[in-house]
Every structure is written in C-alpha cells, then in structure tokens.
C-alpha cells in the first residue's frame, strides 16, 4: 500500500488492487456519500407496493428521465418490470417512520397503513410526506450484475411538501438538514 498527498498535504491512503480490498473500500467509501431517501411505489395486481431506495438520480431533462436501481431479489423488481410504471417519492424528514416499515418485509401488511397517502389518477401511491413525487413510465431496464437499472420517463410531477427538509442517508444513519446554507464558489 502506498500513500498519496491531497492538495492540503494530508495523507490519503490508497487501496491495494486486490478485488476484495477494492470491494470493501468501495462499500466504505459509498457509506460516506450522502443520498436522498426515496420511497418507490407501484400498483401491481390492484395492490399498492413500495420499497426504500437511495440509488435514484436524474438522467436527463429532455425527456425528463429518472434512474432507479433495484436489486433483482427485491419483490419490487418484478412488479415494476410487469407493470411498466412506478412512482419516486422523495421523502422529507417527517417521513422517517416510513423507512423501517418499507425496509422490512415482515412489516409488509403495515406499509400503506402508516403515513398519509393519496392515489394518483394512474393509481400510484403518493406519499403526502414527500418533498416531491415523480410518476414514471418504464422506458428501459439495464441489467447490471445483482441489480436492474430502471430508466423511467417522468409523466407527472407532484409537490406535496416542497418546503420541507429532505431525509438523507449517510454512514448507515438517517439525517436531515436544519437549514440549507449556500456556499459561493
């Protein structure tokens, strides 16, 4: 292992090239990347379904497209694939109670009994505690090892709580911003 120096002169440890070391370092490094917490919902066989996700990002504005990564073993993988539709609810800090319910398969029956919900014209569950909700039509699935990358064309945007603080996930804990501070570059 060798050390490099950052612009400030502090040591930056490098990682050996062995695959297991890189994979461990990758997992450790990704824990330090703050991510917005989203609740992905759909309606499958006339039942509402949902899962928590942090691997969500914008792909393009023309056409408006979101990317959502879903593990192939998650029940939502097949549901989104079959229905061809999903909704991305970007959660506010007030929605933190939904995380445990939607992250735990043994609590599946409680999922839409917790929190405030509305249903869109298309039948998507919309979380009233979301900052914003994006209704999406599945445009493409890209297979990547353990996950499917769902590309969804946004068909409608709803702003239930655009003024609320976002729920963030970093280093295996949930956080929220008390205030947004703008730093000029």
Tens of pLDDT, residues 107-134 = 988 999 988 999 988 888 999 999 999 9
- Calculate what percentage of the chain has a pLDDT beyond 70: 88
Residue 78 parent element (H or E) = helix 75-83
Confidence of residue 21 (pLDDT cuts 50, 70, 90): confident
81: pLDDT strictly greater than 80: yes
The span from the CA of 77 to the CA of 99, in Å, is 18
Residues contacting residue 131 through CB under 8 Å, at least 6 positions apart: 90, 91, 92, 159, 160, 161, 162, 164, 166
Q: Tens of pLDDT along 32-67?
A: 889 999 999 999 999 999 999 999 999 999 999 999
CB atoms within 10 A of CB 59: 15
Predicted TM-score (pTM) above 0.95: no
**Nearest residue to 151 (alpha-carbon basis) of 84, 68, 77:** 68
Average pLDDT of the chain is 88
Record the tokens describing residue 73, joined without a space. 């073993």
Distance separating alpha carbons of residues 11 and 20, to the nearest angstrom: 23
């Amino acid at each position: 292992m060798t050390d490099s120096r950052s612009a400030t002169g502090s040591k930056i440890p490098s990682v050996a090239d062995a695959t297991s070391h890189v994979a461990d370092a990758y997992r450790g490094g990704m824990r330090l990347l703050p991510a917005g917490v989203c609740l992905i919902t759909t309606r499958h066989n006339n039942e509402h379904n949902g899962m928590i996700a942090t691997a969500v990002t914008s792909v393009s504005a023309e056409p408006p497209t979101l990317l959502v990564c879903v593990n192939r073993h998650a029940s939502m993988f097949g549901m989104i694939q079959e229905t061809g539709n999903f909704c991305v609810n970007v959660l506010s800090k007030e929605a933190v109670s939904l995380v445990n319910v939607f992250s735990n398969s043994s609590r599946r029956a409680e999922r839409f009994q917790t929190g405030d919900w509305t249903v869109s014209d298309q039948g998507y569950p919309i979380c009233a505690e979301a900052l914003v909700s994006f209704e999406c039509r599945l445009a493409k699935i890209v297979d990547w090892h353990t996950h499917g990358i769902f590309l969804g064309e946004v068909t409608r945007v709803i702003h239930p709580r655009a003024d609320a603080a976002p729920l963030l996930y970093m280093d295996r804990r949930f956080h929220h911003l008390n205030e947004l501070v703008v730093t000029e570059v």
